[in-house]
Structure 1
């Protein structure tokens, strides 16, 4: 793998500085109660899982994702979308719990891929294994007919060698601090997606690996704000930036700037979103803007109807009872609503 050469613009240098400044301030900013921080983390998890799977074609909304996550003890997931959400949630949980011990190795990458596709019956034969068939990125017409190759990924024959080279370069660059950590992560991700080492799941896995690399580099705030939702909101720019860099990777002078610029701007948006939410929470704001959709509906219904039982709320909102129970508990702990009575006599008010 060629050693990357960066010609950083003043804008990109400023972006790196802003993200690093927030990284340094995170411990001081993290002054909310554990309950409120936990609520922020839950919202970010739902947004991340929903966005990352939708980028690849899933259709589940954040509310549907949240309902599914409240029932992950299920032993089977009927639809492809449910299987992808469950797998992504488990892969992210593994990263959050074990990132300190998960160096970037081919074994860890394959292990995460196996977890990611754990519930996907269609992918049972190849989960955790490098591809054996070509998986070039192709374009389709409105009828779903393939109309051409957009980008040629690594061949199955070349994939093991290219993955070995990428992992070796990444660990050497991290150890020697030859580039800023964010630039190393950017190079790893765009090259990983150019290789497309697995038959399926490469896009989702790249975002899991982004989280792993960021957390290992000390960006401890990452679980509290969704980078995936930033990518989903800018999906066209995401693919254009990837292609503009990837089409140059086999040339004498790869152009890292299109992808690096998109990646750094996305990281800034991620930290801006979290910073705004922290400030709003710290200031005691009663705005409903950052609450999960079900919580907003609960507050609106209590404003309109006054006293409501859990059954009345469930019928009016149409929410899963397990999810509603979690939302009600969070709203009570945050002081937004009051709980009255016990067991079947329970009711809520503002």
Structure 2
């Protein structure tokens, strides 16, 4: 919520090159229907790949792993979770599917955030759908085994009020329409991670919320490619920029731009970029182990 304080919002200066990238992303959004008409079979295969990659990468970022064949079977609900890791993966699958299928009817408020967390944890035997009850400092383990506190999130007793305020401010600024949605999403996720409202699952929740908000602003790209996979591939810079932008957050003296700038990778979420990448790099009949219904052919733009 610190990033949405009026004084702070007004102090943010967005570099010209970032404005250009964001404008390009907006242009690509307008071409989504064209892609659907030109290559429906390819997009359907990409959709299946994206679900697998998203579920696998988002959980692997938190140290939750399973055999890829088991993950595929879990996603297709052919099997039930056999252990805690698979239970966590199944929970992510359910929430992600809920978003993909029902985003038009899902409002964005703190009750929905709590419901997502409940569903995320429902197979794992963990307490889901409640704000944290004990402190959850962000700890880094150094090579010599010593522990270092990287960030101290909001205390448990303040968390409900902070989340309430975050949503109120986000909604108010969103309705004004003066700030680009990509920037608004980045600021919300930064504040969410600084509050760290749950004892477990905050990173996965942040990525699920990102998918929902992109849908709300008309970006369907997460249906066809895995944003979670991009984050995993750039996780060192992801965590470093998060660390930089969280410093001074409690006093509203943080610098959100490193975090917002890191979303320059959102240029990679453009459908045009992804389709061209698929055209040039994956002209075989399979991609990430999933067979295409037909060879990928050149599209015309």
Q: Check whether TM > 0.5.
A: yes
Are the aligned partners of 1:230 and 1:270 in contact in 2 as well (CA < 8 Å)?
Answer: no
Cα deviations by residue, 1:215-259 (Å, 9 ceiling, x for unpaired): 001112321111111100000100011111111322353311000
Gaps of 5+ in 1: 296-326, 337-350
Are the aligned partners of 1:50 and 1:61 in contact in 2 as well (CA < 8 Å)?
Answer: no
Q: Does 1:57 align with 2:17?
A: no
The aligned residue for residue 13 of structure 1 is 19
How far apart are the structure 2 equivalents of 1:55 and 1:334? 32
How far apart are the structure 2 equivalents of 1:289 and 1:84? 31
Q: Does 1:88 align with 2:92?
A: yes
The aligned residue for residue 207 of structure 2 is 207
Output aligned runs, 1:157-168, within 5 Å: 157-168=157-168
Shift of 1:289: 7.9
Which secondary structure does the structure 2 equivalent of 1:31 belong to?
Answer: helix
Are the aligned partners of 1:135 and 1:199 in contact in 2 as well (CA < 8 Å)?
Answer: yes
RMSD (CA atoms) = 2.3
Shift of 1:102: 1.6
The aligned residue for residue 266 of structure 1 is 265
Question: Which of these residues, 110, 114, 122, is aligned with residue 110 of structure 1?
Answer: 114
Shift of 1:203: 0.3
The aligned residue for residue 240 of structure 1 is 240
The aligned residue for residue 150 of structure 1 is 150
How far apart are the structure 1 equivalents of 2:295 and 2:274? 21
Output aligned runs, 1:219-238, within 5 Å: 219-238=219-238
Q: More relative contact order in 1 or in 2 (CA 8 Å, sep 6+)?
A: 2
The aligned residue for residue 132 of structure 2 is 131
- TM normalised by structure 1 equals 0.77
How far apart are the structure 2 equivalents of 1:120 and 1:89? 13
How far apart are the structure 2 equivalents of 1:250 and 1:129? 22
How far apart are the structure 1 equivalents of 2:83 and 2:143? 23
Which secondary structure does the structure 2 equivalent of 1:57 belong to?
Answer: coil
The aligned residue for residue 287 of structure 1 is 283
Gaps of 5+ in 2: 297-301
The aligned residue for residue 299 of structure 2 is none
How far apart are the structure 2 equivalents of 1:10 and 1:275? 26
- TM normalised by structure 2 equals 0.88
Shift of 1:266: 2.2
Shift of 1:32: 3.8
How far apart are the structure 2 equivalents of 1:177 and 1:132? 35
Shift of 1:193: 0.4
How far apart are the structure 1 equivalents of 2:277 and 2:67? 22
Q: Does 1:334 align with 2:294?
A: yes
Question: Which of these residues, 54, 62, 72, is aligned with residue 66 of structure 1?
Answer: 72
The aligned residue for residue 251 of structure 1 is 251
The aligned residue for residue 22 of structure 1 is 28
